[in-house]
Structures are given as C-alpha cells and as structure tokens.
Amino acid sequence: MTLSPEKARPFAFDTEFDATGRVVASGAPIRPVKRTYLAAEVDALVAQARAEARAEALAEAESMRSMALGEIGRAACEAAATLTAVALAHRADSAALAMAAARTMAGGALERCPEAPLSTAIEALAQEIGGAPRLVIRTAGLDEDARSQIEAACDQAGVGGQVVFRDEPGMATAAFILEWPDGRAEFDPEAVAGRVNEALAAALAAENGHGEPLKRTD
C-alpha cells in the first residue's frame, strides 16, 4: 500500500503496523520532564563538579610529577656516570703527569749523584755485610771520587774485607748489584719505575671497581 503525501503523518518509534502497513497502535509522544533544582542542590552539584575537576587535575599533576622525577633520575644517573668517568680520567692524567715529573727529577738527581743509591743501600745493609770478607760492587759510570765515597760508606758499615768494583757498561745510571758471601742485593731505577707504575694503575683500577688496570686510549 502506498500512502499519499497528504495522508502521511509522523510517528514515534513505538508505532505498530500490521502486515498491510496499517497503523495498529501509536505510542503517545514522550514529553521531557521539566525539573526545577533547588539552590542547595545546585550548590551541591557545583561542589561535586569542582571536587571531581580538582581530583582529576591532581591526578594529572601527580602523573606529570612522577614522569618528571623519572626523567630527573635518569639524567642524574647519566650525569653521575659521566662525572665518574671524567674524575677517573682526571686522576689518571694527574697521576701520569706526577709520575713523569718524578721520573724527570729523579733522573736528573741520579745523573748528578749516581753513587747516592749505592751509598744508601750499603748503610741499610750494614748488619748483613758488616764483617764480610769480600764485597763485590757491580755498577757503571762511577768515577774515582764516587768510588772513594762508596769505600768510605763500606768502612762506616763495618766491611772489613776487600771491596771490589766491577764495571758493567750495560747497566743503567745508578743501577748496581752488591754481592757478598752470604747474600746479594740489586737496584735498577727502570725496574723500580715500572713497578711503581703498575702499582699506581692497580690502585686506580681498584678505586673505581675495575678488575684490571685501566689503559689509556688517547
């Protein structure tokens, strides 16, 4: 069945039709219920809305604060690692500079007084070499004045036997070997400097939690 435009009329969604399209039942239009709010109710709703808005704002602020603290923590960890590396490099460079300066000064002192370490060793070994029938001194580059000073140190140490000097051209300046019937002692400035460098590198590595000495890469 076709309805003409003149007979067409609006209907609600609860209108019922039969098989032929005829309206069987038509629901009454739903009219909105108008409600009047009291002033106290309006104040309560406004207060509730404000509380909800405040709670939402606080939650958002707490979330942003947590994110900011996380970023600060990560930045602090990165900065701490960088500062640790910088401090380690600074200590290593300072130690290397100090060692270079010490070796330069020590080398100059040994060049001027090559007999000084030998004289000191003889004084320190006085109880062991005192009374020895023979003391052999192996060294290089000692002139007559230096040998005289060494002989005087032997006399003060109580060496009553013969003091024999053996010139060893291959030995470093101020290096020496002492030999007597009951013992032997030696000194090599280069070997001592190497042991000091190893001990310094091990100390720096241990201070920063490394199992092996750190190596410079520059």
- For the segment 103-136, what is each residue's pLDDT rounded down to a tens digit? 777 667 667 777 888 888 888 888 888 888 889 9
- 118 in a domain, yes or no? yes
- 213 in a domain, yes or no? no
- 66 in a domain, yes or no? yes
- 9 in a domain, yes or no? no
- Name the most confidently modeled range: 59-73, 76-90, 197-211: 59-73
Residues 118 and 176 in one domain: yes
| Token pair 């435009």: residue | 5
Q: What is the pLDDT of residue 21?
A: 65
Last residue of some domain: 94, 109, 124? 109
Q: What total number of domains does the chain contain?
A: 2
- Residue 137 CA to residue 181 CA, distance in Å, equals 13
Residues 119 and 175 in one domain: yes
Residues 76 and 137 in one domain: no
For 82, the token pair is 């960088």
CATH of the domain at 179: 3.30.360.10
Last residue of some domain: 53, 81, 109? 109
Residues 122 and 173 in one domain: yes
Residues 121 and 68 in one domain: no
- 210 in a domain, yes or no? no
Residue range of the domain that includes 76: 44-109
Q: What are phi and psi of 5, to 5 degrees?
A: -55, -30
| Alpha carbon distances (Å) from 32 to 10, 11, 21 | 18, 17, 29
Q: What is the pLDDT of residue 189?
A: 86
Residues 100 and 122 in one domain: no
Question: Side chain identity at 126, as an amino acid letter?
Answer: A
Residues 118 and 101 in one domain: no
Residues 99 and 118 in one domain: no
Residues 105 and 121 in one domain: no
Q: What is the pLDDT of residue 145?
A: 87
- 215 in a domain, yes or no? no
Q: What is the pLDDT of residue 211?
A: 43
pTM of the shown model: 0.48
